Structure 1
Amino acid sequence: MRLLRVIPSLDPLGGGPMEGAKNIDSCLASRGINVEVLTLDSPDAGDFLQQYPATVHALGPSKWGFGYSPLLVPWLREHGPKFDAVIVDGLWQYHGLGTWLALKDSPTPYFVLPHGMLDPWFKYRYPLKHLKKWLYWPWAEYRLLRDARAVVFTCEEERRLARDSFWLYRCNEAVTSYGTKAPPSNAQELAQAFRQKHPELGGKRLLLFLSRIHEKKGCDLLLEAFARVADLDPALHLVMAGPDQTGWVAVLQQQASALGVAHRISWPGMLTGDDKWGAFHAAEAFCLPSHQENFGIVVAEALGCSKPVLISNKVNIWREIEGDRAGIVNDDTLEGTVAGLASWLAMAPERQEDMRLAARNCFEQRFQIEQVAESLIRIISEHVGQDTSPEPQHLQKPA
């Protein structure tokens, strides 16, 4: 099988979808699947293009925030027939519209991974942006999804929520598993190295946030919730790790100062490689009180490191976490975030250990990258060869 992935960027600063694509493609390649990637990055964008585990065709630099490239459609029309299937990663940029324009009358089937970009949270949080998207939707993304051989969601919750974003919604739905590769096994060594690199963490009980510093992640909720529970143990320390793409860190640091806990919070920036795994292993629990989170690769990584996850019920895999008793789930509110932290801190040591074991079991049973690759191959195999205009599994009409 020969697959082409079309994705706006492979820059790891983009977060989970880029990391997920890299891990999945590496696993597919190990199974003898020929994977190539078409991206709108500039060919000289960075080492991440050369380090990608598949052949990369970089057609950028793209123009405007929309990611327009005049090279995309001609390239796909010329090379698309060489592939058994095309995978479109993400929505709302030109790579999706361009794929539809190039392949809509082609025998080459394509599949779309929305990565949570149809979550109705965006409609309520950014109503003006949603209005702009609605003007764009009927002419582009609706058609992209309608004509896809399948739209592949990463969990049932994502599929359910997607149906509430736009009343004009028609697609052939499928659900795959999602996850990441197993973490390195030298946990103690990595944790020790991380603490040595950050000596202010010596002797501290670490709670870890590791994701993009963005308002949808609930960072401000976590800071205030931490301030409310900090007096329960003077050894408690919060690590807020991740890239700051919107300049919000300075505002959050001012908030921490006003709350009187600035000296008990570290901001190491984006962590990768051994530094990232060291942070996971050095922490006793992982915190992500997101207002919207399609899947959360970092949640799966934390579970793989045997770390209980303290998350909101807006992380779309919360039902799996709660069902496996691999973490603590609450509302994405200040009260919910405080309750999650307080519940963990009040938990007896033996129950905390049980939750650590449950976290690792949850990862092994649900979120290993090998299972993700097998699921994706199965979905593609089931749909390749069917009529290019499949009967939709779900057709939602206006109320």
Structure 2
Amino acid sequence: MKVLMVIPALGNVYGGPTQVILELAESIAKLGISVDIIATHANGSTNLDVPLNEWIIQKYHRVQYFPYLDFLDYKFTGAMTKWLFKNVDNYDIVHTNAIFSYPVLAAHWACQFRNIPYIATPHGMMEPWALAYKAWKKKLYFTLLEQPALQKASSIQMLASTEAEGIKSLHLKPPLVIVPNGIHSTDFASLPSPDIFYQQFPETRNKILIIFLGRIDPKKGLDLLAPAFAKVHEKFTETHLIVAGPDNTGFLSTAESYFMEGGCRDAVTFTGMLRGDMKYAALAAANIYVAPSYSEGFSMSVLEGMAAGLPCVITTGCNFPEAGMANAASIVDIDANQIADSLIEFLQDPIKAKATGDRARQFILENYTWDSIASKMLSVYQDLISLEK
């Protein structure tokens, strides 16, 4: 089987979706499947320094980058379009990732033209909040171009049951399959020393650390986290908030202003994006994980926080009710007071916090590893290909 994965961009500034595609591609390739990835070389306001229009051989798969013209973030790319129409029939199935970006639309058109089955993964971009955000530039594009292409997909992958429920109003015809994201259990077998993080950010040493791990973006709920943390910090003055993630939309100054207004900016460290041992050391240093999001497809950072054994406070917008049913996380409404109260509850009851973190770790390692996710996705591919024959 030959699989082509298409994503608008693989730059680190795009956070979770980039990580998901690379991890999924590698995990599927380890099962003996040929996997190629194509993307533009976009990386936020800059471009990746990579060869263009040629294959880059990775350990388990290949990647090819194409030049693009950025217009309203749609990433128009003639080079990729030409390549797709010429080469897409070399593959048994195409897996597109994201919507509201031209490269994915070009892939759908090429698949239709060459009669190749394709599965589309919107990564939470069809959630009601996501569709309503900047709706002025999405509505016409979705109605005229995106929705007709999605209607002809062989299937649409949802990352969570709640995401599938949320898009019913769009009346999409293809069958929905639910395949979540995952983590590598080996990454969490033994976390590095927190000292690695303390040395880089000494103001966090000897503090009770609450960590937010995600992009600095309006949908991540930092406007809710700021008043929530202000309430927490007033009661527990030794608390310190880590905001760890890239600012790929220029939202950082606005996010900082939320904490200034809350009077707690001095107790917040914005680290930028953390990678590798530094990210895992931050998780090892943290006492509580928080995700105040308005909307997620299926958050990789939530999985990481739970796999690290942290008690987690997440909103219903994170689309992870299963964690609540397993009593492995505190799930609250999208509300600053509820976020604050849940954080305070963990701080007041360390025994409960540790027990929740222990359950979280076990729950993720038993149910959400890339090995099991890759096997499930491969079964989906096989079913869709057999239906086309």
Deviations 1:10-63 (A, max 9, x none): 111111111001111111222211111111226972369969652112121334
User: Superposition pairs for residues 346-361 of structure 1, below 5 Å?
Assistant: 346-347=348-349, 349-361=350-362
Rounded Cα–Cα distance in structure 1 between residues aligned with 2:275 and 2:50:
14
Rounded Cα–Cα distance in structure 1 between residues aligned with 2:270 and 2:141:
38
Rounded Cα–Cα distance in structure 2 between residues aligned with 1:6 and 1:233:
46
1:107 aligns with 2:115: yes
Question: Does the 8 Å CA contact 2:75/2:101 hold for their aligned counterparts?
Answer: yes
Deviation of 1:264 after TM superposition, in Å, equals: 1.3
Rounded Cα–Cα distance in structure 1 between residues aligned with 2:124 and 2:51:
24
Q: Cα gap change, 1:257/1:59 in structure 2, threshold over 3 Å: closer, same or farther?
A: closer
Deviation of 1:136 after TM superposition, in Å, equals: 2.3
1:5 aligns with 2:5: yes
- 1:161 aligns with 166
Deviations 1:170-209 (A, max 9, x none): 222111132222324332x332211122211111110001
Q: Cα gap change, 1:327/1:51 in structure 2, threshold over 3 Å: closer, same or farther?
A: farther
1:26 aligns with 2:26: yes
1:72 aligns with 2:80: yes
Q: Cα gap change, 1:190/1:51 in structure 2, threshold over 3 Å: closer, same or farther?
A: farther
Query: What is the aligned-residue identity percentage?
Result: 26
Rounded Cα–Cα distance in structure 2 between residues aligned with 1:309 and 1:48:
41
Deviation of 1:293 after TM superposition, in Å, equals: 1.2
Letter aligned with residue 167 of structure 2? A
Rounded Cα–Cα distance in structure 2 between residues aligned with 1:251 and 1:133:
23
Corresponding residue pairs, total: 380
- Give structure 2 stretches of 5+ with no counterpart: none
Letter aligned with residue 40 of structure 1? T
Letter aligned with residue 58 of structure 1? Y
- 2:190 aligns with 186
Deviation of 1:246 after TM superposition, in Å, equals: 3.0
Letter aligned with residue 150 of structure 1? S
Question: Does the 8 Å CA contact 2:347/2:353 hold for their aligned counterparts?
Answer: no
Selected match of 2:152 from 147, 162, 171: 147
Rounded Cα–Cα distance in structure 2 between residues aligned with 1:96 and 1:149:
15
- 2:257 aligns with 254
Q: Cα gap change, 1:238/1:132 in structure 2, threshold over 3 Å: closer, same or farther?
A: closer
Report the TM-score, using the length of structure 2 for normalisation. Answer: 0.92
Letter aligned with residue 13 of structure 1? V
- 1:309 aligns with 312
Rounded Cα–Cα distance in structure 1 between residues aligned with 2:57 and 2:234:
45
- Give structure 1 stretches of 5+ with no counterpart: 389-399
1:380 aligns with 2:385: no
Rounded Cα–Cα distance in structure 2 between residues aligned with 1:321 and 1:99:
35
1:119 aligns with 2:127: yes
1:60 aligns with 2:67: yes
1:345 aligns with 2:347: yes
Letter aligned with residue 270 of structure 2? W
Deviation of 1:98 after TM superposition, in Å, equals: 0.7
Question: Does the 8 Å CA contact 1:41/1:62 hold for their aligned counterparts?
Answer: no
Report the TM-score, using the length of structure 1 for normalisation. Answer: 0.89
Q: Cα gap change, 1:176/1:266 in structure 2, threshold over 3 Å: closer, same or farther?
A: same
Letter aligned with residue 284 of structure 2? H
Secondary structure in 2 matching 1:291:
coil
Secondary structure in 2 matching 1:179:
coil
Question: Does the 8 Å CA contact 1:190/1:275 hold for their aligned counterparts?
Answer: no
Question: Does the 8 Å CA contact 1:100/1:143 hold for their aligned counterparts?
Answer: no
Q: Cα gap change, 1:88/1:123 in structure 2, threshold over 3 Å: closer, same or farther?
A: closer
| Aligned Cα root-mean-square deviation (Å) | 2.1
